[in-house]
Amino acid sequence: MLSIDTAAHGSRWRRRHPVDKAVLGFGLTVLAVSLPPWPGAALVLAAALVLLLGPARVPAGRLWRAYRVPLGFCLTGAATLLVRVGGPHGPLVGLAPDGPVRAGELLLRSSAASLGVLLFAFTTPMSDLLPRLVRAGVPPAVVDVALVTYRMTFLLLESVRRVRQAQAARLGHTTRAATWRSLGGLGATAFVRAFDRAGRLQDGLAGRGYDGTLRVLVPSTRVSAAFTLASLALLAGIAVLSAVLEGPLG
């Protein structure tokens, strides 16, 4: 399983309803985008980190491995604001006068918003979320395709891992030419196995009287009014604190 999915299945908040965690995680994301970068987005970033490492009990190493990918995109996007292209005066390409300030604001907003999304992802397995989307109005066919794709992804990743191990054991990665041949064989094998698994899945569903809907067991949970109210209180507190501190710190 993927690292983030493993953490979600073992999360302390696994048994909570996805709506509870969506209010908190996506609420932090909305605040990160809508509040002033300083101190609003900084407060959101700090709150998300405390929640992830504290109540949610997400291991710091696993969080960093998942966070560094969106953080890299945040840094790349912020770096573009440091450069000015064209203009009536000066060189064609140069440093933007207000580039560092704008880059810092964008980095604060995007990194804080990413942590809000990761808070939801690290506490909510896809197997708990996808079946409930039908009640939210998503067409059942779309949910079924997403469920099958989600489950087959792990099977294909396991197949790829085993093929790579077999290739390494047969010295398939000793030279650059051998590595490229192994990579081509790996892609071909994964492609064939994907079609083979899809065919067997279709035959299995047809043999079980598939009528167009995949029925799966979903853990019985209820929306916690206390948790939701506490989340809303936290979000409101961050917004109020940001408004209070904006004047002195701005």
Q: What is the pLDDT of residues 146-174, one digit of tens each?
A: 877 887 887 788 888 888 888 888 888 88
Q: Is the preceding omega at residue 91 within 30 degrees of 0, hence cis? A: no
Q: Does position 250 have pLDDT exceeding 60, yes or no?
A: no
Q: What is the pLDDT of residues 170-182, one digit of tens each?
A: 888 888 888 888 8
Count the neighbouring beta carbons within 10 Å of the beta carbon of residue 241.
15
CA gap 33, 53 in Å, rounded: 22
Given this model, what pLDDT does residue 212 score? Answer: 65
Residues in the chain, how many? Answer: 250
Rounded to 5 degrees, φ, ψ at 83 are -110, 140
DSSP string, 168-215: HHTTTTSSHHHHHHHHHHHHHHHHHHHHHHHHHHHHHHHHTT--S---
pLDDT given at position 247: 65
Average confidence score pLDDT of the chain: 83
pLDDT at position 213 over 70? no
| pLDDT (0 to 100) of residue 117 | 92
